Amino acid sequence: MAPYFPQVLQVLAKITSKNQLTLPKSVTQALGPVQYFEVQERAGQIILTPVRIQRGDALRAKLAELAIDEKTLDAALDWAQKAAAKPLSAKKTAPAKKPAVKKLVAARKTTAAKPSSAVKPAVKTVSKRKTAR
């Protein structure tokens, strides 16, 4: 018991060499039947949040409640596969404005330097290799 806060019980838990931690019964009873916890670390504290994993029978009960049968699931899967196979249609947008050709030609004439006849352009050759597969 903490001396300054008599209404607050201080409960210690020891971590083992295998990183196992046993939670006190007084803490877990208040949570009900929980087997799994989400574990987070924040500002030097470990935060455990109870997680309830639903079993297959709970899922089947929910499907029955919603009247979803195998035929409905097959139809939904077919629809999803067809939708995924279709290419996305391109949005129709206004065509981009083309700059005036005359302005481009005039700009190139004033800024381009005349090529020298003595300088040959560099030619890059690419050889194709056959690989054995």
Q: What is the CATH number of the domain that holds 14?
A: 2.10.260
pLDDT in tens, 22-66: 888 888 888 888 888 999 999 999 999 998 877 788 888 888 888
Pair (26, 37) in one structural domain: yes
Pair (18, 34) in one structural domain: yes
Q: Is residue 13's pLDDT more than 60?
A: yes
Position 126 in a domain? no
Pair (11, 37) in one structural domain: yes
Give residue 90's pLDDT.
52
- Per DSSP, helices labelled H in 68-121 are 70-85, 101-111
CA-to-CA distance for 9 and 24, rounded, in angstroms? 12
Give residue 45's pLDDT.
92
Residues spanned by the domain of 70: 56-85
Check if the beta carbon of residue 46 is closer than 8 Å to that of residue 39. yes
The mean pLDDT of the chain is: 74
Q: Is residue 1's pLDDT more than 50?
A: no
Indicate the pairing of strand 45-51 with strand 36-42: antiparallel
Split into its structural domains, the chain has a count of 2
Position 120 in a domain? no
Give me the residues paired with residue 41 across strands.
Answer: 46
Output the six-digit token pair for 123: 């030619």
